[in-house]
């Protein structure tokens, strides 16, 4: 009679793994799915009418000259981490929440600069 040696547990596990992998190799990988569309709002359309402190911040930023006004008169506004949360609001709407950073004087300066942008855009 031939004595059989017990199979070490690790060797049995390795053999089972090889059998599993061989089965997986016989099935082709499915084609990758296209990436889902990113969530969020679509890009802001070009602003309608003249830009003002009553335009959405997003609409002002859609015009390079309008964004330049915001970057100059309200430095850091468009780079704040919270920007996506308030970009649909107007400067008038966020004035009370600005802890005194956006004042009537600042809004008057922004309005004058946006009026200059409007005049320049109308001349094109």
Q: Is the pLDDT of residue 20 over 90?
A: no
Average pLDDT over residues 9-35: 60
Would residue 27 count as lying in a domain?
no
Name 90's bridge partners. 56
pTM above 0.85, yes or no: no
> 43 or 104: whose pLDDT is higher?
104
- Domain carrying residue 89: 57-122
Average pLDDT over residues 67-80: 95
Would residue 16 count as lying in a domain?
no
The pLDDT tens digits of the residues spanning 76-113 come to 999 999 999 999 999 999 999 989 989 999 999 999 99
Which one, of 59, 50, 53, 46, lies nearest residue 119 by Cα? 50
Would residue 35 count as lying in a domain?
no
Would residue 31 count as lying in a domain?
no
Would residue 9 count as lying in a domain?
no
> What's the mean per-residue pLDDT of the chain?
80
> 4 or 102: whose pLDDT is higher?
102
Would residue 48 count as lying in a domain?
no
Give dist(CA 118, CA 116) in Å, integer.
Answer: 5
Would residue 88 count as lying in a domain?
yes
Q: How confident is the model at residue 121 (pLDDT cuts 50, 70, 90)?
A: confident
Would residue 4 count as lying in a domain?
no
- The torsion defined by the Cα of 8, 14, 16 and 18, in degrees rounded to 10, comes to -150
> HSE on the CB side for 55, CA within 13 Å?
24
> How many structural domains is the chain composed of?
1
Q: How confident is the model at residue 10 (pLDDT cuts 50, 70, 90)?
A: low
């Amino acid at each position: 009679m031939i004595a059989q040696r017990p199979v070490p547990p690790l060797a049995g596990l390795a053999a089972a793994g090889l059998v599993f992998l061989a089965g997986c190799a016989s099935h082709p990988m499915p084609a990758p799915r296209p990436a889902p569309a990113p969530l969020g709002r679509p890009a802001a359309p070009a602003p309608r009418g003249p830009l003002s402190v009553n335009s959405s911040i997003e609409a002002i930023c859609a015009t390079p000259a309008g964004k330049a006004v915001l970057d100059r008169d309200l430095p850091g506004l468009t780079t704040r981490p919270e920007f996506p949360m308030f970009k649909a609001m107007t400067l008038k709407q966020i004035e009370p929440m600005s802890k005194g950073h956006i004042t009537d004087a600042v809004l008057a300066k922004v309005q004058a600069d946006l009026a200059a942008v409007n005049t320049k855009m109308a001349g094109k």
